[in-house]
Each structure stands twice: as structure tokens, then as C-alpha cells.
Structure 1
Amino acid sequence: MTSYLSLTKAMLIGLSRDKSTLFFTLLFPLMFLIIFGAIFSGGGTNPSKVAQVGAVPVLDQLQAQDPDALKDVLELSTVDDEAAAIKMVEDGEVAAAVKQTGDLVQIYYSAADRTQAGIVTGVLNGIVTQTNLEKLQVAAPEVAVTTVRIDQVEDESLGSIQYLAPGLLGWAISMSGVFGAAMTLVTWRQKKTLRRIRLAPVSVGAVVGARVGNTLLLALIQLAVFIGVASLPFFGLKLTNYWWMAIPTVLIGALAFLAIGLLVGAVSKTSEGASGLANLIILPLAFSSGSFYPLDAAPQWLQTISYVSPLRYLNEAMLDVMVRGEGPLSVLPNLGILIAFGLVVGFIATRLFRWDDI
């Protein structure tokens, strides 16, 4: 126990003095949280700019009834010349131009920005459809009209931070687990520290236990810092009743990525090689596991690939208990996969482990 505590203390002191490791495992992911949280704190997007050619009755009537009806989705500007309006679309000054002649509403858009074009055409189509329904109800009030009501399942006050915080936290834990274990192992091997430990009256279990203890402690610090920052009023993270299940979740996730770090450290001969291999593993995992954006928005092929990534299961487990309000049992399948992954990779790492450079 004395050797374990001494090693743990030595590793903690080394970590506190390693400014580079602290930056990349704690401050760097936190910077992403702050930047993305600030960008998306408004919870919405800017209105799409639309050039209105002369009078467009369907829009004019809607604004006459409710002046604020379109302010959150469309920013209208009136031009008298159709050619000038089309030129504005071509130059990217507006997302679309709209003109109405009789019962025909003509929309001009550019394929250069299909997202904006889709938003504008969808909104204008919806306005025209609603106008036609109102005419139908006046002309034939006995005809039943089907209506649509759209309700958000979460609290309407929830913002993007609900999904950013767990994903970026998962990324931070993966980086600290992989880089921490890999760099420690390679550095100790290069400096012959492993050889001295092997000759000293210290068990391998004490060395591994100290490394594991440091990794788990850092994961808890990351969890506390991320929740603390994201819960500030400016960002507005709202935790669900079972958020505390994120504690065992991050601990198990940290162990899974510690196993990857041990494998990287076992096969790498230099610190540079270990750092490069760790980056080669972590960055693809982060982009394919929903750490920076919801996986639902990713292409189908990327969603399929994500199933082989342990980071996906860590992110999903944290989302379940921190955001979606799922119960403690909901994370068990994801945690089981992380445990199995960690055991397999850890076993491979022990088989490849070496005390000295060859």
C-alpha cells in the first residue's frame, strides 16, 4: 500500500507539472465547450434573407395579420425589378427571390447553398399551403381539413449545450486516457524508469494501480469542471434526475481508453510516435462518435462505422442519463460494451508490453 500511495503521489505531482498534458486533456476540450456553447447559446439561427419583387399578396396578407409572423425565419426586402432580384440571388446577397403573379408564386433560389434554399422554399411553400387551406375553408366550410401540430418533447428551454457538453466531455476523457497512459509508458521506458521499477521492491500491480487511480481522478475532475462550466447561466446546461450515473459512466469510459493508451504505449518506441498514433486513433473516433455533432446528422456510412467506436457508447450513455432523462439501467448495455472493449484491448496491451526498448 505504501508503494502504491507513493507512486500515485509521484504521478499526480508529475501531472500537475506537465502543463502540456493539462492543457490538452482539460483546457483544450473546455475551450471547445466554451466556444461552441457561446456560438449556439442563442438556440437558433439568423433569418434567411429573401428579396420580394413588388407586392407578394400571400406574404403581405400574412404580415398584415401578424407583423411578427416571419421575423424569426425570413428577412424580407422589397425590390422593384425582377432581374435585380435574381442577380441578388446569384451574388449570394439573398437566399431567394419571390414574385407573385395572380395565383402563381415564383421562387428563385441558388443551388450554391442548398441548406438555405431548402429552408426558404419550405417556409414559402408552407405559407402558400396555409393560404390555400384558408381559402378552402371559406369556400367549403363543410370540408374537413387536416391540420398538423408540432410539439418538442423536451423542455423548450433546452439548448445545444445539452448535447455539446456530454459529447465534448467524452472526447476529453478519451484524450486523457489514451495520451496519459501512452506518454507515461513511453517516457518511463525511454528514461529507464520502468527498469528501475522492475528491479525495485514494487509490484507491477502497484504501478498499474497508481496509473489507473490517476486516470480515474482526472476523469472525475473533467466531469466536475465540464458540468460546472456548462451549468453556468450563460450556457444553461440542465441536468436530469439521474445525472449522477455519469460518474460511474465516465470512470468505466476512462478505463476503456486507458487500455487503448497502454496498447499505444506498448507498441510505440518514442514519445513522438506515441503522440502521433494516439492522435491517429482519437481524432477519427471523435468525428465518428458524435462528440462534435449529433450522429443523426451524419451520413449513414459514418453512423455504421461509429458502432465499432468505444467513444460512441460513452457519449450515448452520458446523453441518456444527463440529457434524455433515462434511468440508471439504460446505460448498462453501453457500459457492458465499454467494459468488454477495455478487457480485450487491455489483454492485448499486456501481451505486447515490454520493460525496455528493443
Structure 2
Amino acid sequence: MSNGKQLNKLFGAQIKMMFREKQVWFWNLFFPIILMVLFMVIFGGNGSSEFSAKIAVVKPQANETSNMLEEKLRQIPVFEWKSEQPVSSEQADIWIKDKDVDAVIILPQSQDSKALELVVNKENEKNASSQAISGILDQFIQQTNWDVAGVQPTYKLDMSSVSNGSEDLSYVDFLLTGMIALSVAQGGLFGMVDMVDMRRKGLLKRLRMTPVKMGLFGLGGMMVRFVLGIVQIIILAAVGVFGFGANLHLDLPTLVVAFFIGALAFNAIGYLFSSFSKSIEAYMGMANIASFLMMFLSGIFFPTSGLPEWLKSVTDVIPLTYFVNGMRDGMVYGSGIATGEFWMGIGILAIWGAIAFAVGAMIFRKGKVEVR
């Protein structure tokens, strides 16, 4: 049989072997879609950047100061008022405890008092909405002080935003490309599960005694996982673009290089896991641990710039960090294949893959697994 025909038969057989495992279907197709949809719905699925907060106001006593402040507060456009009229402290307390409002503003009790009080639910004290409300009130108080004092501000702040990606770059695009990189990486991490079973049962040893060329067997498996990776990219991109309005600006040369090197590197890591796993359960356990650790430290969901300094050193050695960056370069940022930063990341990915494959091959040659 010619090499071409043998490779074709091995390719078909390994596709059947891979998709026979339910874990492969879940971790490589369904899990990334479910996770991406959840994050997009929570953080960016509606495509709106407008902020609003539901507010209640308590006015212990009507006076000139409290009336003036209430009138100005009700003119803040991002505040949605729970009641058109001030409410009692008891009612406001119930609403804030039940989370029916995001915050309660208590106006000064007397005309001589100048302090407003902001009350939020303790569980939400540090969340983004509470911080935004506090910032808005700080600015409101500062502006009110200027108005009362008759001071005209000399300086003002104008804010704009730029990106090294497209002008329409959004969190949806950021998350989509991160999830695509994660799913391809998981294809390599979880895709070698059949090797564990074959090795444990002695099938690999018997396969070496047949006319099958082991190089073609390995090449066939690699082709299967490349096909799976392409399917993952197409499905996730379709969900992101048509379901959530994501914007992709493809740089095909960059995308092809990042995908090819990244897929090879994570297949090599999966191969390493399979080399010292004596059961499918042990293999899946290691792959799960590696996947979840890298998932939250590689900038898939949020930029790594917000991590503590000591944790950033960990992200700098994780292969998924560079794979995510490379895929974003090819799908969103379009910074070009000629940049030094891109090739440095690709080089680190290649080193991870080479070391993982070399160690895995050495363990396969020297290790012994009992045949059941």
C-alpha cells in the first residue's frame, strides 16, 4: 500500500477513534461555546456600552439644601430612580438589602449639614456598579461646590480611546478570540486520550509489528487535530459574529502561523501527558488541571495587565498566553507578521512544544505500562 493510501486510511480511522470519546466532543466543541456564550451574555452580549444604575433617595427633612441637591441629582442621566418621590429610611433599607436598587442616597438632614451619604449592599460594595456610582457622586459634589461658590473651572478633561486593533474593537472581539485560542489548545490537551488507552492495552506495541508506518500514524493523528482546530475556529467565529456582533479583521498569514505553531505545541503537551498516564482518568485529570490553570492566567477573559505583579511572572511562562496573543494578532489586532513581539511569542510556543515532545518521546521509549 502506498504512503498516500495508508495515510488516508489512518486519518479516517483516527477521526473515528477521536470522536468516539465523549470527552472530546464536550471539551473541544460544546464547553468552549457554552463558556463563551455565558461570558458574552454577562459582560458584552447586548453590545451596549451605556451604564445605568437604579437609585433611591431618602430626604429626612425638606429644606433648601436637600431640595436643591435632589433636583440636581435627578438630572443625572445614568441614574434610574426607583421612586419619583423620596422614600423613608426603612423602605430604602429594605430595597438595598433585597438588591432592588443599586444604591441609596441620603440627603442632608438639615440646611446647615453638607454631607450626602451613599449606601450600597455590602455584597456589592466592591463591584463595578458601586464604584461607578461613587465616582459619579464625587464628581457631582465637586461640581455642586463649584456652582455654590461661583467658581468657573479653568481646566477640563476630555477622554478618548485608541487601540492597536481596529477602531470597532470591543470586549466581544477580545473574548471571542481568546475562546478560539482556548478551544484549539484544549483540542491538543484532550485530544491524545486515545493514545493512553492504546498504550495501556499494548496496541501501540502491536501496531509497530504491522506494516503500518508509525510516522504516518502520528501524522494522521496530527491532521485530525488540525481539522478539529479549523472546525472550532469556524464554529466559534460564527457564533461570535452572528450571535453577538463580533468584528473580525483577519490577517491570514499571521493567523496561519499562530494556529499551526500553537496547535503543534499543545498537541505536544497532550502527548507528554499521555506518555506517563496509566489510565484515561489520570490523563483527563492532568489535562483538566492544566487547562483551568492556564484559562484564568492567559488573558482569555480579561487582560493580564490587571493581575498582581507576582502573578504576571507566571503568565509570562504559560504557553497559552502567547497562543492567545498570536491568535488575536491574526484575527483582531492585525499588527502584522513582521513584528518582533509576535515572533518572540511564536518562539516560546515552539520551545514549549519541542521540550514537551522530547520528554514525552523519552518516557514512551523507556516507560512500561501493563497490558490489561
Give the TM-score, by structure 1 length. Answer: 0.86
- Name the structure 1 match of 2:14: 11
Correspondence 1:272-311 to 2 at 5 A: 272-311=281-320
Instruction: Specify the SS of the correspondent of 1:308.
Output: coil
Once the two structures are superposed, residues 274-297 of structure 1 have per-residue CA deviations (whole angstroms, 9 ceiling, x without a partner) of 111211221111122122333234
Separation in structure 2 between the aligned mates of residue 320 and residue 59 of structure 1, nearest angstrom: 49
Once the two structures are superposed, residues 157-204 of structure 1 have per-residue CA deviations (whole angstroms, 9 ceiling, x without a partner) of 5442111111111221121101112x1211111333202221112333
- Name the structure 1 match of 2:141: 128
- Offset of residue 38 of structure 1: 3.1
- Offset of residue 156 of structure 1: 7.3
Separation in structure 2 between the aligned mates of residue 161 and residue 264 of structure 1, nearest angstrom: 33
Corresponding residue to 1:95 among 88, 102, 107: 102
Once the two structures are superposed, residues 34-79 of structure 1 have per-residue CA deviations (whole angstroms, 9 ceiling, x without a partner) of 2322332124476333221235534523645xxxx423x5545443
- Name the structure 2 match of 1:113: 124
Corresponding residue to 1:52 among 54, 57, 79: 57
Separation in structure 2 between the aligned mates of residue 216 and residue 90 of structure 1, nearest angstrom: 52
Separation in structure 1 between the aligned mates of residue 132 and residue 308 of structure 2, nearest angstrom: 20
- Name the structure 2 match of 1:322: 331
Separation in structure 2 between the aligned mates of residue 56 and residue 242 of structure 1, nearest angstrom: 58
Q: Summarize the Cα distance change of 1:56–1:117 in structure 2 as closer, same or farther, 3 Å threshold.
A: farther
Q: Kindly indicate whether residue 27 of structure 2 is the aligned counterpart of residue 24 of structure 1.
A: yes
Correspondence 1:182-331 to 2 at 5 A: 183-232=193-242, 234-242=243-251, 245-330=254-339, 331=342
Letter in 1 for 2:330: V
Corresponding residue to 2:77 among 70, 74, 81: 70
Q: Summarize the Cα distance change of 1:130–1:320 in structure 2 as closer, same or farther, 3 Å threshold.
A: farther
Letter in 2 for 1:319: R
Range 308-317 or range 195-204, more displaced? 195-204
Q: Summarize the Cα distance change of 1:150–1:120 in structure 2 as closer, same or farther, 3 Å threshold.
A: same
Q: Summarize the Cα distance change of 1:339–1:156 in structure 2 as closer, same or farther, 3 Å threshold.
A: closer
Instruction: Specify the SS of the correspondent of 1:97.
Output: strand
Q: Is the 8 A contact 2:58 2:86 kept in 1?
A: yes
Once the two structures are superposed, residues 78-122 of structure 1 have per-residue CA deviations (whole angstroms, 9 ceiling, x without a partner) of 434346535644554433322343572412324432224322211
Q: Summarize the Cα distance change of 1:17–1:315 in structure 2 as closer, same or farther, 3 Å threshold.
A: same
What is the aligned length? 347
Q: Is the 8 A contact 2:253 2:337 kept in 1?
A: no
Q: Summarize the Cα distance change of 1:97–1:34 in structure 2 as closer, same or farther, 3 Å threshold.
A: closer
Once the two structures are superposed, residues 232-271 of structure 1 have per-residue CA deviations (whole angstroms, 9 ceiling, x without a partner) of 1x31111125266223212211111111111111001111
Instruction: Specify the SS of the correspondent of 1:357.
Output: coil
- Name the structure 2 match of 1:41: 45
Give the TM-score, by structure 2 length. Answer: 0.83
- Offset of residue 322 of structure 1: 2.3
- Offset of residue 131 of structure 1: 3.1
Q: Summarize the Cα distance change of 1:179–1:96 in structure 2 as closer, same or farther, 3 Å threshold.
A: same
Letter in 1 for 2:30: L
Instruction: Specify the SS of the correspondent of 2:300.
Output: coil
Letter in 2 for 1:148: L
Any stretches of 5+ residues in structure 2 without a counterpart? 60-65
Q: Is the 8 A contact 1:246 1:322 kept in 2?
A: yes
Q: Summarize the Cα distance change of 1:36–1:63 in structure 2 as closer, same or farther, 3 Å threshold.
A: same
Letter in 2 for 1:38: V
Q: Is the 8 A contact 1:57 1:100 kept in 2?
A: no
Q: Is the 8 A contact 1:263 1:349 kept in 2?
A: yes
Q: Determine what percentage of the aligned residue pairs are the same residue.
A: 25
Letter in 1 for 2:131: G
